[in-house]
Structure 1
Amino acid sequence: MSRRELIDPEVAVPLNQLLEAMPGGFNSVPDIVQRRATVQAMLSGIEIPENPNVVKEDRTVPGPEGEPDITVRIYKPVNATGSLPGIYYIHGGGMILGSVDGEDPNATMICDQVGAVVVSVEYRLSPEHPHPAPVEDCYAGLVWMAKNAAELGFDADRLAIYGASAGGGLTLATALLARDRGGPQLKFMMPIYPMIDDTNTTESSHEITDIGIWDRAGNIEAWAWYLGGKPADQYAAPTRAEDLSGLPPAFIDVGTVDLFRDEDLAFAQRLMAAGVPTELHIHPGAYHAAETFAAEAALAQRIWALRLDALRRALA
């Protein structure tokens, strides 16, 4: 049975439309530069009204030592009062795609709905910049955000880190670096359906082959590009971390029709076993990033409601 039959009918509609326009999905475009352009063209065709409750600013900040500077986008609530929390946002895209612009709507919405200062980081992408460049960029951005809490207008003691897919994997890797380097203290982390296992050996990684969104072949390709022929360490593939103690409380969600399902469930169980308070949600019928592709669907609304509630509770 094709796993596509298990997808929630409402969230299947935009996915089917995508596959009609682009059989095989994004990964059917073999050249990575052309693939990025295809994704960007699709996103640029979606009109999203500006949110008057949020102000934005792009800024260049120091990158890793000896490496180029990085760009961050800062989001602030217009009418928020009192002490605000901070959320460091890492975009997804399999380590090979994605941008701050591409996830601007989600970062804006989180800023508005949580009432937080959000800083979104533009990290280098593979294959041009394999591991550890992306995670080192993410860590450098986090260090800058924490050091500049007063100027940015948030409480450094209420700093969370958020990311989905590759951004979820980088969220965990950045949290591991912060723990191991004695870096910024994180109050909470929200790795959403994180990309964390380079071995591609789980049952779900063999199941998801024809969804059209982050299937097995595309995941294998992305990991090969990200690792650049070198073995993975725990900061590339967090499932390889032997010790998960000392990480901040976590919230993880994943769909039942997502290639990352099994690696994420196993990692959540390991976090719990290590004494890390962990909230886990599994969404029946959800494929990878379904809540973004079908944002108006009831399933998407439930997913976002849970995330926003968790962020508010953790950062209250």
Structure 2
Amino acid sequence: MRFEDRLDEAHLALLETIPAEMLDLSDVPTARATLAGRAEAMKEQAPEIPGVEIEDHHIPGPDGDPDVMVRVYTPSGVDAPMPGFLWIHGGGMVLGNVAMDDVKCKAAAASVGCVVASVEYRLAPENPHPAPVEDCFAGLQWFASNAGSLGVDPARIAIGGGSAGGGLAAALALLARDRGVDIIHQQLIFPMLDDRNITRSSHYVQHPKVWNRETNLAGWSALLGKPAGSEDVSPYAAPARADDLSGLAPAFIIVGDLDLFLDEDIEYAGRLAAAGVPTELHVMPGAVHGTSVLLPDHPVSKRWQAIEMGALKHALTGGG
């Protein structure tokens, strides 16, 4: 059955509203501006989330590189140290910014009761690998080193991200393990993990109004500075390339069954579990890439959001 034939009316209507320019990576500046405009419009329509303070910090970047902006979201009026959650935005490695996830980060801070730090990492193609993941690692190091002044319990720090941010979070989990930085959880939301694009789902999703095979190959090639699927790709760029997944932080992965990342995410979850990493996997029927963000009032999105926030709360506080 064709991809389009499996979409419900709400998704079909959504796709009609997606500007073609937003996913046209032949013109990255226009795609960035289009996505930023749409994200800002969605943010203006979202309900207010009171009781969360926001502060931007400019921290030292990797050696010899520019400073990195980290936006911190802190629940108001809490004196005891709280768990911390480092979040990484999506955008196919070439698009997006911290601001587009303000609502999500405020909601996580308020509902889970944690301090959220969101990293403004450098984007490809201007800044190919390893710049994005090294910026994220700089953010994690700063978050952990300054936990006390930020009101964070350094023994309860998790990382996570969506789409490209999910892939960067998975890569960051590998870096944290290999460089001796402790994290307790990795929250991977429809993560972008494998540059090879050889799975069934990576071929199946080619609709121009969702993140599709063409845009995915372009995003990976921009990050790598060479064609996606090339030899000698670092697992810190494409985590699915990692040979050893043992010793990683417990993982939560959620993906829609109409997402081109479906198969690679399922495979990665299975490999994590086989390596002895506690792993929770959810496949949401009828969801495309970004359903939970683009259609927040859809029934599948409400289930998704409850599962996602429940998993984060359980990981950070033991609550469900």
Distance in 2 separating the partners of 1:11 and 1:314: 31
Q: Deviations over 1:97-130 (max 9, x none)?
A: 0100011111111111111000000000000000
Judge conservation of contact 2:200–2:263 (CA < 8 Å) in 1: yes
Distance in 1 separating the partners of 2:28 and 2:201: 25
TM-score in terms of structure 2 length: 0.94
Residues 29 and 263 (structure 1 numbering): CA distance in 2 closer, same or farther, change over 3 Å?
closer
Q: Deviations over 1:133-185 (max 9, x none)?
A: 00000000000000000000011111000101000000010110111111x20
| Higher mean C-alpha deviation, range 225-234 or range 292-301 | 225-234
What residue number does 1:164 align with?
A: 162
Q: Deviations over 1:203-224 (max 9, x none)?
A: 0000001162111000011111
What residue number does 2:76 align with?
A: 78
Paired residue type of 1:17? T
What residue number does 2:39 align with?
A: 43
Q: Could you say what secondary structure the match of 1:101 adopts? A: helix
Gaps spanning 5+ residues in structure 1: where? Answer: none
Residues 96 and 133 (structure 1 numbering): CA distance in 2 closer, same or farther, change over 3 Å?
same
Instruction: Number of aligned residue pairs: give it.
Output: 311
| Higher RCO structure, 1 or 2 (CA under 8 Å, sep 6+) | 1
Q: Deviations over 1:190-215 (max 9, x none)?
A: 01111010111100000001162111
- Distance apart, 1:49 and its partner CA: 4.9
- Distance apart, 1:51 and its partner CA: 2.2
Judge conservation of contact 2:23–2:208 (CA < 8 Å) in 1: no
| Higher mean C-alpha deviation, range 2-11 or range 93-102 | 2-11
Q: Deviations over 1:37-59 (max 9, x none)?
A: 11112222331454221110011
Equivalence map 1:260-275=2 (5 Å): 260-275=261-276
Distance in 1 separating the partners of 2:264 and 2:208: 18
Within the candidate set 23, 26, 41, 2:22 is matched to 26
What residue number does 1:175 align with?
A: 173
Distance in 2 separating the partners of 1:6 and 1:136: 39
Judge conservation of contact 2:21–2:30 (CA < 8 Å) in 1: no
| Higher mean C-alpha deviation, range 37-46 or range 142-151 | 37-46
What residue number does 2:4 align with?
A: 4
Distance in 2 separating the partners of 1:311 and 1:174: 17
Judge conservation of contact 1:92–1:164 (CA < 8 Å) in 2: yes
Matched, 1:217 2:223: no
Judge conservation of contact 1:25–1:213 (CA < 8 Å) in 2: no
- Distance apart, 1:16 and its partner CA: 2.9
What residue number does 2:107 align with?
A: 109
Within the candidate set 170, 174, 196, 1:199 is matched to 196
Q: Could you say what secondary structure the match of 2:133 adopts? A: helix
Paired residue type of 2:52? V
What residue number does 2:233 align with?
A: 232
Gaps spanning 5+ residues in structure 2: where? Answer: none
Judge conservation of contact 2:80–2:151 (CA < 8 Å) in 1: no
Residues 25 and 288 (structure 1 numbering): CA distance in 2 closer, same or farther, change over 3 Å?
farther
Judge conservation of contact 2:164–2:192 (CA < 8 Å) in 1: yes
- Distance apart, 1:5 and its partner CA: 1.9
Judge conservation of contact 1:2–1:210 (CA < 8 Å) in 2: no
Root-mean-square deviation over aligned CA pairs: 1.4
Judge conservation of contact 1:90–1:121 (CA < 8 Å) in 2: yes
What residue number does 2:50 align with?
A: 52
What residue number does 2:153 align with?
A: 155
Judge conservation of contact 1:73–1:119 (CA < 8 Å) in 2: yes
Within the candidate set 182, 198, 201, 1:185 is matched to 182
Paired residue type of 1:222? G
- Distance apart, 1:27 and its partner CA: 2.1
What residue number does 2:89 align with?
A: 91
Q: Could you say what secondary structure the match of 2:284 adopts? A: strand
Paired residue type of 1:224? S
